[in-house]
Amino acid sequence: MREFWIIFKQAFTTKAKAKSFMITTVIMVAAIFLLANVSKIIDTVQDLTGAGQSQNVLQVVDTSGVLVDRLQAQLAQGKDEITIEEADESEQILSDKVSSGDIDSFLSLSVDGQGTIHANYTTMSMMDFSLPMRIQDALQSIQAEMKAEELSLTGAQVQTLFTPIQFEQKNVSPSAKSEEELNQARVLVYVLMFVIYMAVIMYSSMIAMDVANEKSSRVMEILISSVSPVKHMFAKVLGIGTLGILQIIIYGIAGYFALKTSATEVPGGFSDFFSLKDVSISTLVYAVVFFLLGYFLYATLAALLGSLVSRTEDVQQMIMPMSMLIVAAFIISATGLSNPELGYVTYASYFPFFTPLVMFLRVGMLDLPMWEPLLAIFITLLTIFILGWFGARVYRGGVLMYGPSRSLKDIKKAIQLGKE
């Protein structure tokens, strides 16, 4: 076992000390904090530069003479920090000011003979969506008030017109969750699916590339003279896998503190969107289990395929079928987010190369009987053992093969060479 741990340590430390690994980790941690605090950063920049202050004052051209004050009062009810000012200039002059950048926007209001409000919002910004929507909602409320006054309706009578119906959905499916539970689980399941997908495809490719690099530099010939190819394969798989787990733990810790720093008292904020307080512990446990299953399944396959090539340039071509399997699993999982009870999603969850993503989707979104995820885990474990046994035979001969790769047809040649 001494040789095993030496190769394990070498695979782990070599990648951990690589500049690419360190830079990628730092960039990802910084990106996590940036995304979690993007609203705070924007507000801080606007406070320092004074940007956005002019947006708090909106010039209004009101030909009706009755809408400006009501609009200001309506926006104040919604706690919008917008000051409405009646313009003393024409629409043409205000339009020229918008074009020159002197003001951000202005609003023109009028009322026709039927008492319908007409509003024109003029701006130069293609990304100006929030303010016009708030103004439209406020004007819609004013329109309802004006029509109520015209019909001599009281405020209580107006409210009855907008009283929502009482509608409840009851799902008697034994695997169904409530809509509230589904909404809480959907975001987390998607994030964890994406983590599993990225980790599996990244670290599996890293293993294949590392094996091919050792072959191209002739280091492999020295290694297999002192340690068996089988030990070498599994030590490399475990070494890089441990590094991947460490990196994901770093991302998880960074994400936790990022959410803490972004926490606000406003309900529905970023921290509430990614809150873990209502998530089942079993979902997190399954996330870890299926991540490990997915990694070892694809890592073993990647080591097998990496041993068949002699040049690092051929690695991507050789692992292309494996990459397509991962992509297909992610696509099936993504399409199943809206309806995880679809037939093809259920069947795909038992296919071992799809199980880590698709079955995790189902256990996260549905209340499945225990035997279903356990059966999928057993099938995947059995596949890993079979693939490990077969991969060891291929790896034993594949590391000794040099010359141009002829795709997957080299597997038979590697097995024959390994017997010798």
pLDDT band at 409 (very low <50, low <70, confident <90, very high): low
CB atoms within 10 A of CB 354: 24
CA distance 332 to 348: 8
Q: How far is CA 275 from CA 38, 186, 209, 211, in A?
A: 17, 12, 37, 40
Domain boundaries, the chain: 56-161, 177-419
DSSP string, 151-163: TT--HHHHHHHTP
pLDDT in tens, 389-408: 877 777 666 666 655 555 55
In terms of pLDDT, which residue wins out, 101 or 192? 101
CA distance 207 to 232: 12
Look at the block and give the residue holding tokens 């596949």.
383
Beta strand 117-123 pairing with 83-86: unpaired
pLDDT in tens, 307-344: 777 666 777 777 788 888 888 988 998 888 878 888 89
Superfamily of domain 56-161: Periplasmic binding protein-like II (3.40.190.10)
pLDDT band at 268 (very low <50, low <70, confident <90, very high): very low
| pLDDT in the model for residue 87 | 83
Q: How far is CA 191 from CA 195, 268, 360, 364, in A?
A: 6, 18, 12, 12
Instruction: Decide: pTM greater than 0.85.
Output: no
| pLDDT in the model for residue 377 | 93
Is residue 291 within 8 A of residue 196, CB to CB? The reply is yes
Look at the block and give the residue holding tokens 């091919």.
212
Range scoring the smallest mean pLDDT among 42-56, 78-92, 125-139, 204-218: 42-56
- Separation of CA 59 from chain center: 40
According to the per-residue pLDDT averaged within each range, which of 122-126, 209-213, 308-312, 357-361 is highest? 357-361
Indicate left, alpha or beta for 269 from its phi (over 0: left) and psi (-120 to 50: alpha).
beta
pLDDT in tens, 102-149: 888 888 888 888 888 888 888 877 666 777 888 888 888 888 888 887
When the pLDDT of each residue in the chain is averaged and rounded to a whole number, the result is: 76
- Separation of CA 417 from chain center: 44
When pLDDT is averaged across residues 256-275 and rounded to a whole number, the result is 58
Please give the span between the terminal C-alpha atoms of the chain, in angstroms, as a whole number. 24
CA angle 386/294/346 to nearest 5° reads 95
Among 367, 217, 339, 347, CA closest to 283: 367
CA atoms within 13 A on the CB side of 213: 8
Is residue 175 within 8 A of residue 371, CB to CB? The reply is no
Look at the block and give the residue holding tokens 């993504």.
334
Instruction: Map residue 38 onto helix, strand or coil.
Output: helix
